[in-house]
Protein backbone atom coordinates (compact mmCIF):
# COMPACT_ATOMS: atom_id res chain seq x y z
CA UNK A 1 0.00 0.00 0.00
CA UNK A 2 1.10 3.55 -0.74
CA UNK A 3 1.01 4.79 2.83
CA UNK A 4 2.48 1.76 4.62
CA UNK A 5 5.33 3.85 6.01
CA UNK A 6 3.33 6.97 6.90
CA UNK A 7 2.96 7.98 10.55
CA UNK A 8 -0.14 6.54 12.21
CA UNK A 9 -3.13 8.82 11.90
CA UNK A 10 -1.70 10.76 8.98
CA UNK A 11 -3.87 9.11 6.34
CA UNK A 12 -7.00 9.77 8.37
CA UNK A 13 -6.11 13.46 8.68
CA UNK A 14 -5.72 14.05 4.94
CA UNK A 15 -8.62 15.55 2.93
CA UNK A 16 -10.58 12.99 0.89
CA UNK A 17 -9.83 14.84 -2.38
CA UNK A 18 -6.12 14.64 -1.68
CA UNK A 19 -6.35 10.91 -0.99
CA UNK A 20 -8.35 10.30 -4.18
CA UNK A 21 -5.80 12.16 -6.31
CA UNK A 22 -2.89 10.52 -4.51
CA UNK A 23 -4.15 6.97 -4.90
CA UNK A 24 -5.11 7.62 -8.54
CA UNK A 25 -1.62 8.98 -9.22
CA UNK A 26 0.01 5.88 -7.77
CA UNK A 27 -2.34 3.73 -9.86
CA UNK A 28 -1.25 5.65 -12.98
CA UNK A 29 2.41 4.93 -12.18
CA UNK A 30 1.57 1.23 -11.84
CA UNK A 31 -0.28 1.27 -15.19
CA UNK A 32 2.68 2.90 -16.90
CA UNK A 33 5.06 0.33 -15.40
CA UNK A 34 2.80 -2.50 -16.57
CA UNK A 35 2.67 -1.01 -20.07
CA UNK A 36 6.44 -0.83 -20.25
CA UNK A 37 6.81 -4.37 -18.90
CA UNK A 38 4.28 -5.53 -21.48
CA UNK A 39 6.39 -3.95 -24.22
CA UNK A 40 3.60 -1.70 -25.39
CA UNK A 41 4.33 1.17 -27.73
CA UNK A 42 6.67 3.49 -25.81
CA UNK A 43 5.55 6.52 -27.83
CA UNK A 44 1.93 5.88 -26.83
CA UNK A 45 3.00 5.50 -23.20
CA UNK A 46 4.88 8.77 -23.35
CA UNK A 47 2.24 10.77 -25.14
CA UNK A 48 -0.93 9.43 -23.55
CA UNK A 49 -0.22 7.84 -20.20
CA UNK A 50 2.40 10.31 -19.01
CA UNK A 51 0.25 13.21 -20.13
CA UNK A 52 -2.68 11.83 -18.14
CA UNK A 53 -0.43 11.28 -15.12
CA UNK A 54 1.04 14.78 -15.25
CA UNK A 55 -2.43 16.33 -15.49
CA UNK A 56 -3.27 14.54 -12.27
CA UNK A 57 -0.09 15.86 -10.62
CA UNK A 58 -0.84 19.43 -11.70
CA UNK A 59 -4.42 19.21 -10.43
CA UNK A 60 -3.29 18.00 -7.02
CA UNK A 61 -0.48 20.53 -6.64
CA UNK A 62 -2.81 23.31 -7.71
CA UNK A 63 -5.25 22.54 -4.90
CA UNK A 64 -3.14 21.11 -2.07
CA UNK A 65 -0.04 22.52 -0.42
CA UNK A 66 1.72 21.71 2.83
CA UNK A 67 3.50 24.65 4.37
CA UNK A 68 6.50 23.97 6.55
CA UNK A 69 6.73 26.15 9.62
CA UNK A 70 9.92 25.97 11.69
CA UNK A 71 9.91 26.75 15.38
**In the chain, domain spans:** 14-61
Name the nearest CA neighbour of 64 among 22, 28, 18, 24: 18
What pLDDT shows up at residue 39? 73
Please give the Cα distance from 21 to 35 (Å, whole number). Answer: 21
Model confidence over 12-55: pLDDT tens digits?
A: 888 899 889 888 888 988 888 888 887 767 777 777 888 888 98
Confidence of residue 69 (pLDDT cuts 50, 70, 90): confident
Q: Which of 40, 9, 43, 16 is nearest to 24 (CA)?
A: 16
pTM, two decimals, is 0.65
6: alpha, beta or left, given left = phi > 0 and alpha = psi -120 to 50?
Answer: beta
Q: What is the pLDDT of residue 49?
A: 84
Amino acid sequence: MVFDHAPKGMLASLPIGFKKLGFATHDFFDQIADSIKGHQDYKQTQQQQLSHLLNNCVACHKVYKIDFVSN
